[in-house]
Amino acid sequence: MLSELRLTRRVNFYETDLAGIVHFSWYFRYMEEAEHAFWRAAGLSVAPADAEVGWPRVAASCEYRRPLRFEDEFDVVLRVAAITDKTIRFDCLLTRGVDEIATGSMTVACVSHRPGEPMRARTIPADISARFEVAPGVPSVS
């Protein structure tokens, strides 16, 4: 079972604004990129072609501590913070060396994904939930 993943990345020029600082929206992309790598590391895909479930974001947040700039190398650590029967919450930490750059959180909901039908929340399939576990040291949510 997987509970945490570290992704190392470098800032591309197109991710920066005129001040040479990474635009705030890219932090959400970094978190999502780490999430997709997390699913692959668990032997899954977040969006396989024949999927009967989908994973829309129902909550996302980010708190910025320090800026990232063009060519900065940084790490994105994604951890499973909570799992319910229908949702997974990921917490994320972005660091450059020992400096904390940002913290974030995303909650994804499992929904039915069938052509011609509206999305509806559903229980996470057992073959998926069996691949993930809450990271050690994450306080339980009551």
Model confidence at 82, pLDDT cuts 50, 70, 90, reads very high
Residue 57 has pLDDT above 50, yes or no: yes
- Whether 64 and 20 have beta carbons less than 8 Å apart is answered as no
Percent of the chain with pLDDT over 70: 96
Set 17, 50, 72, 99: catalytic member: 17
Query: In this model, does residue 60 exceed pLDDT 60?
Result: yes
Q: Is residue 103 pLDDT above 50, yes or no? A: yes
Tokens, residue 136: 């050690």
Q: For 4-129, which CATH class?
A: alpha beta
Asked if residue 21 has pLDDT above 90, the reply is yes
- Domain ranges for the chain, please list them: 4-129
pLDDT at 27 over 50: yes
What is the predicted pLDDT for the residue at 49? 86
- Give the pLDDT score at 89: 97
Residue 142: pLDDT band by 50, 70, 90 thresholds?
A: very low
Of the pLDDT bands very low, low, confident and very high (cuts 50, 70, 90), residue 114 is confident
Q: Answer yes or no: are the C-beta atoms of 5 and 38 closer than 8 Å.
A: yes
Query: Chain-wide mean pLDDT for the chain?
Result: 94
Task: Tell me, yes or no, if 17 is annotated catalytic.
Answer: yes
Across the beta sheet with 4-10, the strand order is 4-10, 73-83, 87-96, 99-109, 57-64
Band the pLDDT of 12: cuts 50, 70, 90: very high
